[in-house]
Chains A and B, each alone.
Chain A
Amino acid sequence: MDAKPRLAVHKFSSCDGCQLAFLNQGAELLQLATLVEIVHFAQAGFVAPDATVDMAFVEGSISTPEDEKRIRLVRKNSRYLVAIGACATAGGLQALRNRAPGGAGWIAEIYPQPGHIHALPASTAVSAHVPVDAELWGCPVNGRQVLDAVRGRLFGVTPVVETDKVCLECKRQQGVCVLVAHGAPCMGPVTRTGCGALCPRLHRDCYACYGPAENANTQALGRRLADLGLSPAAIARRFLSINNAATAFRDAGDRWQEEDHGDA
């Protein structure tokens, strides 16, 4: 019998929430430990950041010169690299700083000792720095998707890439549409599934944490949000949130910001 595949979970610029998605799997996590050898997963007490592994999950965006160096090393040490979560797949919420007018000047305004901040000019996705074998979107990622990726790897296949929109999953769950029935500014029609339509099922509007779905018509949804009474600035904020640096959302946000300035 082959040796168990070696697995690592690396953290970059992030909040640790995606690692929690792993840890929250409870019993399945124990089962995972019997199927693979977890060699690095700091939050779970395994520390060997430089180990060579078969499969690495990477959480967090590349945001500092140190991140940039380390991600290359992780890539070199990992046969199969999966970026997990909005930070690793799209630069995360922190990519909002990429948009700050006047470059990094804001750092001096916020931090008492800006000299301690060593940041790259932009917070970016892992794929902007090294080749990535698969991406699992979401803030945080869905633990089921992460475990499916491990299972797939054990079977020798790539993970399923879910590209459908949240709406389809929302309807499969027999949810009542919060946009149509309550006028809520739901982002489901442009957002990738994976969460199981969690927010609409809890009667609130989706806020696009799984990033853009394929063939997302951000213009048409933006116009609909305007009909619902949102201002151009508010619409721009709907797009420029957790996945603000994902192309489709960034472009939509830019357009609505321009609209806002045009109005002013």
Chain B
Amino acid sequence: MAATGFLLRGHMQNLLDALRAAGYRCVGPQVRDGAIIYDTLSQADDLPWGWRDEQKPGRYRLGRHDSPWGFAWANGPQGLKPLLFASADTLQTARRTDEGALHFESATPHAIATAVLGVRACDLAALRLQDQHFLEGLVPDPHYAARRADLFLIAVHCTHPAATCFCVSTGDGPRAEHGFDLALGETEEGFLGTAGSAAGAGFAKRLPLRAAEPREQDALEARITAAAAAQQRSLPARDLRAALFANLRHPRWEEVATRCLSCGNCTAVCPSCFCHAQSEEPTLDGLSSMSVRRWDSCFTQGHSAIHGIVIRADTRQRYRQWLTHKLGSWHDQYGRSGCVGCGRCITWCPVGIDITEEAAGICGSGHV
């Protein structure tokens, strides 16, 4: 795709202002509590200029560098998931009258138009997976749909993958290929912008872009190619479903269970995991009650408890559910693997369990 134009670093505030003028709340990356997280962004100054990350299994550190770059880091713990599939969401409110009659009211959120700056290729791929799950199933989920409806996505190609990234092997990065409105590629002087939708092209007209020079285009291409080459991890490119289900009794499941905390951090940071639990929250006076859904995980007991039996009582079964779903039965459900290679589950696992190593250990690195 040919670049639409070039945005100087100093003009990033113009971009934020233009988004605001177009009626968007802008969400973007910023440093908080020692990590890069996504939150409402009003000042371009709040972007992580000069920050770099260092990630490895079970470890994440940020450091300042003497560099003008704003996106020289790989993803932090969050993707787009918390913005669309909220970690807690009220589904309905019930009221009970004195006579005992029940009234149910829907609680679909009135979402505000949101623009997200800095979306990475893996998260665009994960967004597609979440769209499939929440919008294209039996019934669309109105909560997800409301937040998804007015979303403007500004992608940034990855030029600085972390040691835990492996999106090349899943085919989802490091270049943002589709699913965005506007994509930015960072270079020494600023950003090459490419529109990915009519809305993105229209928006680009409001930015102080100058023509992109071939030299800049080449530099960006070289960066992205180098980023791809720098990735240290990979998943076997084939569909692992058959291999995983053929190895349900592999001793490795038992072994990983001695290391795994069954804490569910991997599923919580995974941008494609969708599981949630529903509970009832009555007010103390008993006059009303909300049905609330919250992120859940196949690593919890509640996920598989039916009265008197827990289907997945031990960690061996829970870890196996996660891996066989993510890399196996996801293919049956959504036509591809549920992993987009973002590496979050590796970095944010408190004990550094590496999905690529476990998958290779169980499936073997060769063909089934």
Q: Tell me, yes or no, whether A and B come into direct contact in the complex with CB atoms closer than 8 A.
A: yes
For the complex, what is the distance from the CA of A35 to the CA of B60, rounded to whole Å?
A: 50
Q: Is A186 engaged at the interface, CB distance under 8 Å to the other chain? A: yes
Q: Known contacts A164-B300, A168-B264, A215-B314; is A176 also within 8 Å of B34 by CB?
A: yes
Contact B33 A188, beta carbon cutoff 8 Å: no
Of A5-13, A76-84, A95-103, A177-185, the segment with at least 4 beta carbons within 8 Å of chain B is A177-185
Q: Which residues of B contact A165 (CB under 8 A)?
A: 261-264, 300
A179 to B261, CA, bound (A): 13
Most chain A CB within 10 A, of B62, B284, B297, B350, is at: B284
Report how far A172 CA is from B275 CA in the complex, Å: 12
- Give the contact-size bracket for chain A: 35 or more
Partner of A172, one of B32, B88, B258, B314: B88
Q: Is the CB of B262 within 8 A of A217?
A: yes
Are B286 and A155 touching (Cβ within 8 A)? yes
Least Cβ distance of A210 to chain B in Å? Answer: 14
Interface string of A165-179 (1 = CB under 8 A from B): 101100111111101
- Does B128 belong to the interface (CB within 8 Å)? no
A163 adjacent to chain B (CB < 8 Å): yes
Per the bound structure, the CA–CA distance linking A216 and B349 in Å amounts to: 15
State the CA gap A181–B348 with chains docked (Å).
9
Tell me if B77 and A177 are in contact (CB < 8 A).
yes
Does B279 reach chain A (CB closer than 8 Å)?
yes
The answer to whether A215 and B82 touch across the interface, beta carbons within 8 angstroms, is no
Judged by a CB distance under 8 angstroms, whether A31 is at the interface is yes
Q: Is the interface of A mostly helix, strand, loop or mixed?
A: helix
Given contacts A155-B282, A164-B300, A173-B87, contact A215 B265 (CB under 8 A): no
Interface centre among B61, B301, B351 (most CB of A within 10 A): B351
Given A28-B284, A147-B284; A220-B260 close (CB under 8 Å)? yes
CA distance A203 to B88 in the complex (A): 21
**A188 to chain B: closest residue by CB:** B263
Q: Using a Cβ–Cβ cut-off of 8 Å, how many residues does chain B contribute to the interface with A?
A: 48
User: Do the beta carbons of B300 and A190 come within 8 Å of each other?
Assistant: no
Q: Cβ of A216: which chain B residues have Cβ within 8 Å of it?
A: 261-262
Contact B284 A163 (CB under 8 A): no
Interface string of B264-307 (1 = CB under 8 A from A): 11001100000000010011111000000011110011100000
A211 within 8 A of B: no
B350 — which chain A residues lie within 8 A by C-beta? 167, 177, 179-180, 186, 188-189, 221, 224
Query: Are the C-beta atoms of A151 and B282 separated by less than 8 Å?
Result: yes
Instruction: From B87, B313, B348, give the contact of A180 (CB < 8 A).
Output: B348
Residue of A nearest to B281 (CB): A148
Q: Please determine whether A180 and B285 come into contact, CB atoms closer than 8 angstroms.
A: no
Question: When the two chains form the complex, which single residue of A171, A177, A179 contacts B87, counting CB atoms closer than 8 Å?
Answer: A171
- B residues adjacent to A (C-beta < 8 A): 32-35, 37, 58-62, 76-78, 82, 87-88, 258-265, 268-269, 279, 282-286, 294-297, 300-302, 313-315, 318, 347-351
Q: Would you list 16 pairs from A and B whose C-beta atoms are within 8 A, ordered by A residue?
A: A163-B300, A168-B297, A171-B268, A174-B87, A176-B33, A180-B58, A180-B350, A181-B33, A181-B61, A188-B263, A189-B265, A190-B261, A215-B313, A217-B315, A220-B258, A220-B261
Given contacts A172-B88, A174-B37, A188-B350, 14 further A-B contacts (CB under 8 A): A35-B284, A147-B284, A151-B283, A163-B302, A168-B295, A171-B268, A172-B294, A174-B82, A177-B350, A180-B58, A181-B60, A181-B61, A203-B33, A220-B258
**Residues of A bordering B, CB below 8 Å:** 28, 31-32, 35, 147, 150-151, 154-155, 160, 163-165, 167-168, 171-177, 179-183, 186, 188-190, 203, 214-217, 219-221, 223-224
* For the complex of A and B, 7 pairs with smallest distance between CB atoms: A171-B268, A176-B33, A189-B261, A172-B87, A189-B263, A167-B263, A176-B35
